[in-house]
Amino acid sequence: MSDIIIIGAGIGGLCTAVQLEAEGKDFLLLEATDRVGGLVKTDVVDGFLLDRGFQVLQTAYPEAQEMLDYDALHLKKFKSGAVIQYKNDFTEIADPFRDPSALLQSLFSPIATPSDKIKMLTLKQRLKSKTVDEILNEKETTSLKFLKDYGFSNRIIESFFTPFLGGIFLERKLKTSSRMFCFVFKMFSEGDAALPANGIEAIPRQLASKIDPSKIKLNSTVKSITKNKVTLENGEEFTAENIVIACDPSSFMKDVPKTKYQSVTNLYFTAEEAALKKPYLILNGNGGGLINNLVFLNQIQATYAPEGKNLISVSVIGNPNLSDQQIIDGVTEEMQDWFGPVANLWKFLKMYRIKNSLPENYALNANRSQSENGIHTIGASTSFGSLNAVMHQARMLSSKFVSGTEA
């Protein structure tokens, strides 16, 4: 019998385990798959690093700063701002305070009015003065209504905010909570989006390295749980005073409502030469088509592609009711429209349809973790879809175990 059983070795489960390990607590971490990480995974295909879904580490996350060794991850950062494909041309928009070299391009960018550019800076300053807790407790509306009420023009909402936030929230109607928008905007204003040298899975691997390997049991799919007992699909049983569910509990708990998720389809292509040799995210500012955002990953982190090669990541919001080949053909045609004949030479590498990527955040409760009869639920299904939020839940629950207030 262990003191604590943790189900799920995603970020929430790993962070809980790391903090319990540091305090010398007795626990067992169960993971259904063959390696830790949950959705934060990286595959190696023909020497290319393919993250399962376009994912970045936001360096301003307070919890990540406490839990992770950024230097050991060998992070490389995106440039602040983005390149937008708009009316058959590309335009740059950036924060001139963080990237003075982009001042002229941003000033003359056609996607924003002069008023929009001023409002971007005033919003940044307003959110900088607020703590994360203050932001997460502000009056709530949708992100779209917040942007309109703040006075942003339809042009910048449709051409910049919709694809930029759509790639984060995985929904383009911007129904996601305004609290989530303000949190994200603050983080991007104060930190950087970055990629680890060994792919996004380097994050869970770093966390797992702080845990006694004998306390992690892989390939262990949970069939059911009752108070103090966990039963696996293979019939094994484990007992503990406390059980932490750090994954979606609806797969093995009948009385739990199923979490509604946003989905994303992620495609990878290879190229001999990059069409954009800058460390920018490229957004679809035109509103139509399959592509929401695109990036030449090795222009940010060279390790993502073999020397002399380029790796292109394309994000399509949702799970289109199309065959794989129809999606590949549609994305390829759009890239040819964007970049010209050079895109004809790009080769498809792999596609991921990620159906349960992020929980819907139309209404945001900053911490919906639940504890009852020794069973504690944390993770993406009980919080907004942020690495920081899941890490925060794990820290709060772990501290209660250490102090003895949860049992």
Question: How confident is the model at residue 248, as a pLDDT?
Answer: 86
Question: How confident is the model at residue 136, as a pLDDT?
Answer: 87
Residues 253 and 280 both lie in one domain: no
**Which structural domain range is residue 212 located in?**
2-39+201-258+362-403
| Residue 33 phi, psi (nearest 5) | -95, -175
- 377 within a domain of the structure (yes/no): yes
Residues 264 and 314 both lie in one domain: yes
Residues 383 and 347 both lie in one domain: no
108 pLDDT higher than 70: no
Look at 350 and 248; give whichever has higher pLDDT.
350
Q: Which domain CATH number covers 309?
A: 3.90.660.20
Question: How confident is the model at residue 194, as a pLDDT?
Answer: 98
Give the model's confidence band at 23: pLDDT under 50 very low, under 70 low, under 90 confident, else very high: very high
Residues 352 and 396 both lie in one domain: no
Give the model's confidence band at 370: pLDDT under 50 very low, under 70 low, under 90 confident, else very high: low
pTM above 0.85, yes or no: yes
- Give how many domains the chain has, as a whole number: 2
Q: In the predicted model, what is the mean pLDDT of residues 188-200?
A: 96
Angstrom distance (rounded) from CA 380 to CA 13: 11
Give the model's confidence band at 106: pLDDT under 50 very low, under 70 low, under 90 confident, else very high: low
Look at 244 and 98; give whichever has higher pLDDT.
244
Residues 23 and 50 both lie in one domain: no
Residues 296 and 373 both lie in one domain: no
Q: In the predicted model, what is the mean pLDDT of residues 97-116?
A: 67
> Could you count the other beta carbons within 10 Å of the beta carbon of residue 335?
22
Residues 324 and 238 both lie in one domain: no
Angstrom distance (rounded) from CA 37 to CA 50: 14
| Residue 130 phi, psi (nearest 5) | -105, 150
- Of the chain, the percentage scoring pLDDT greater than 90 comes to 76
CA angle 359, 324, 35 (to 5 degrees): 50
Q: In the predicted model, what is the mean pLDDT of residues 199-220?
A: 98
Question: How confident is the model at residue 369, as a pLDDT?
Answer: 53
Question: How confident is the model at residue 249, as a pLDDT?
Answer: 86
Give the model's confidence band at 366: pLDDT under 50 very low, under 70 low, under 90 confident, else very high: very low
Look at 114 and 213; give whichever has higher pLDDT.
213
Question: How confident is the model at residue 165, as a pLDDT?
Answer: 96
Residues 30 and 47 both lie in one domain: no
